[in-house]
Chain A
């Protein structure tokens, strides 16, 4: 088989290595750089592990700091889950290589009283990114966020049917303006959206 010529290489998407040997090999170098990637899979299939490896390898091996934004339904200690995967987030945090923001949404104490947007979330994400000059971002898991918001701000019929793969373009297009703005502003940032089927 002939190796790709330089001109054809240039036409390929630039990749961000995950540091996971087999995955980088079959994807031709990793996840597409500067684009969101949706990771879908059943509970326990390893979505969070994949995302964490992407961040930790990025921070340790590729000089690309990362933000982990966790959406939690309860106030269980999420750091415990991550520790069980063998990653010391606190150490990487002290070294300014990984920033973690746990987002708790307690529906019972929230009341809707008119028009709103998710600017609070994006300000927090932006602030976390700025604090360590992050190049990688993980949002885990996005359906917790969507499920916890009551109105039609994020209404997405395709997503509701659990058809996330097909819904990817719709999902990204329907994300509120501020997130699209962040993606636009940080064109060198790759991000992983973690969602389950």
Chain B
């Protein structure tokens, strides 16, 4: 018999544990080998290894090579990281130097005041 959650705190904690297991589908749009693109790849690798190890799929797309993909995903800035899964869809523009902001945006860290 599975254990029934006792109260709202337990339900909440269970949900948090669930979200920690969620698989992430990420797409990083870069512009060739520009400095900003290279930094974005380095920063993202670090974030994924530290916070999403073993539960993410990352696709890196060079918009110079595949411009139609940039159109399909409504990309305007480079670099852009798209969190396709889990929902909601989010886009992070920039070289991903602001780790704190990304972790919050990826729902890996509670927002301030929560």
A residues engaging B (CB < 8 A)? 101, 103-106, 109-121, 123-124, 126-127, 145
Contact = CB atoms under 8 A, between A and B. Distances in A.
B63 A110 contact: no
12 contacts: A110-B93, A111-B91, A111-B93, A113-B95, A113-B96, A113-B97, A114-B36, A116-B95, A117-B36, A120-B31, A120-B80, A127-B71
Interface string B76-107: 11111100000011111111111001100100
Given A114-B98, A117-B77, A123-B31, A109 B90 contact: yes
A121 B93 contact: no
B47 to A, nearest CB: 10
A163 B94 CA distance: 30
A103 B73 CA distance: 10
A119 B31 contact: yes
A67 to B, nearest CB: 12
A189 to B, nearest CB: 17
A124 B80 CA distance: 14
A103 B80 CA distance: 15
A120 B78 contact: yes
Consensus secondary structure, chain A interface: mixed
Interface of B: 29, 31, 34, 36, 39-40, 43, 63-64, 67-68, 70-71, 74-81, 88-98, 101-102, 105
Contacts of A101: 71
Given A103-B74, A114-B98, A117-B77, A123 B67 contact: yes
A126 B63 CA distance: 11
Given A109-B89, A120-B31, A123-B67, A114 B74 contact: no
Nearest to B95: A114
B71 A116 contact: no
A120 B91 contact: no
Contact of A123 (B64, B93, B96, B102): B64
Contacts of A110: 90-93
Nearest to A125: B67
B67 to A, nearest CB: 4
Given A105-B76, A111-B101, A116-B78, A123 B95 contact: no
- Find the residue from A106, A111, A113 having the highest chain B CB count within 10 A: A113
A116 B76 CA distance: 10
A57 B54 CA distance: 56
B100 to A, nearest CB: 9
B92 A119 contact: no
A119 B61 CA distance: 13
B111 to A, nearest CB: 12
A72 B70 CA distance: 17
Contacts of B90: 109-111
